[in-house]
């Protein structure tokens, strides 16, 4: 049974815009409710308001259904009301966010699909963990940018990492990571086709089709590893296996074990 005194209090920042954001939240909630993860999500902050986007509405509903306070402040509307670019009011916006979160005492805040660059004030206020869909030496940018770069560079391996968020996007100190091959029996035919056909510019449509199929496969790998990696990182934090003074923790074995268990449970039904 979880010890309430040692329960890890989490804050959760997300735009809630897609399948990945919702999946991460659901994975954490399932781990908490099953007793695998000794943690509590104290609040969810979203930079979109209800009715602003259908995908975000579904995300907000998940939090509400689990009795988690969901605090919303539209970054788009905030900038529009000030007739300014968001980049020019980012500090003012983050100060308003901090004001709305002042009653909460979360020890660690997770950025899970939060689509805004943070200002100094939030980075200094919270210990912020950002999930990035690449290994520590991998590409920066969105998951789409990462996959495009992996294909362009003919990478054989990718990964997922969690790092402390700083004002420098995707380059804060790494806390944990896992790796996985992206050139395997499922993808090899597409890599081979690219290697043999791409130099021939007159086959552009065919090349784009091959890249599209490869892109989808790599994205499915990201999602397959992302959620168990996320939970394993939170478990390591809750168990105090990870701290600010640790070297980055390679959780590849733990994540592979978790995926094998999930596959075994699915095959038994």
Q: What is the CATH number of the domain that holds 12?
A: 3.40.50.170
User: Model's pTM, two decimal places?
Assistant: 0.85
Q: Is position 100 within any domain?
A: yes
3-state percent breakdown (helix, strand, coil) of the chain, nearest 5: 50, 15, 35
Once rounded to an integer, what is the mean pLDDT over residues 90-109? 94
Domain interval for residue 206: 7-264
Q: How many domains does the chain have?
A: 1
Once rounded to an integer, what is the mean pLDDT over residues 177-203? 85
Residue 257: which pLDDT band, with cuts at 50, 70 and 90? very high
Q: Is position 1 within any domain?
A: no
User: What is the predicted pLDDT for the residue at 245?
Assistant: 59
User: What is the predicted pLDDT for the residue at 167?
Assistant: 66
Once rounded to an integer, what is the mean pLDDT over residues 223-233? 94
Q: Is position 2 within any domain?
A: no
User: What is the predicted pLDDT for the residue at 259?
Assistant: 93
Residue 79: which pLDDT band, with cuts at 50, 70 and 90? very high
Do the Cβ atoms of 59 and 265 come closer than 8 Å? no
Angle between the 54-65 and 19-34 helix axes, to the nearest 10 degrees? 10
């Amino acid at each position: 049974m979880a010890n309430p005194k040692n329960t890890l209090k989490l804050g959760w920042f997300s735009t809630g815009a897609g399948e990945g954001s919702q999946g991460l939240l659901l994975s954490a909630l399932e781990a908490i409710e099953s007793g695998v993860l000794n943690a509590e999500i104290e609040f969810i902050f979203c930079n979109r308001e209800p009715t602003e986007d259908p995908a975000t509405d579904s995300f907000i509903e998940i939090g509400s259904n689990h009795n988690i306070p969901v605090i919303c402040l539209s970054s788009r509307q905030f900038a529009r009301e000030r007739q300014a670019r968001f980049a020019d009011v980012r500090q003012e916006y983050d100060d308003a966010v901090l004001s709305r979160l002042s009653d909460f005492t979360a020890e660690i805040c997770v950025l899970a699909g939060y689509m805004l660059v943070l200002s100094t004030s939030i980075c200094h206020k919270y210990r912020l963990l950002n999930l990035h869909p690449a290994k520590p030496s991998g590409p920066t940018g969105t998951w789409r940018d990462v996959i495009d770069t992996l294909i362009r560079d003919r990478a054989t391996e990718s990964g997922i990492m969690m790092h402390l968020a700083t004002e420098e996007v995707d380059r804060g100190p790494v806390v944990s990571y896992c790796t996985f091959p992206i050139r395997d029996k499922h993808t090899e035919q597409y890599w081979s086709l690219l290697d043999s056909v791409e130099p021939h510019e007159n086959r552009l449509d065919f090349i784009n089709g091959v890249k599209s199929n490869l892109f989808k496969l790599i994205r499915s790998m990201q999602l397959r590893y992302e959620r168990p990696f996320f939970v394993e990182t939170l478990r390591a934090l809750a168990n105090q296996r990870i701290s600010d003074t640790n070297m980055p923790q390679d959780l590849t074995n733990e994540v592979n074990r978790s995926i094998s268990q999930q596959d075994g449970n699915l095959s038994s039904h």
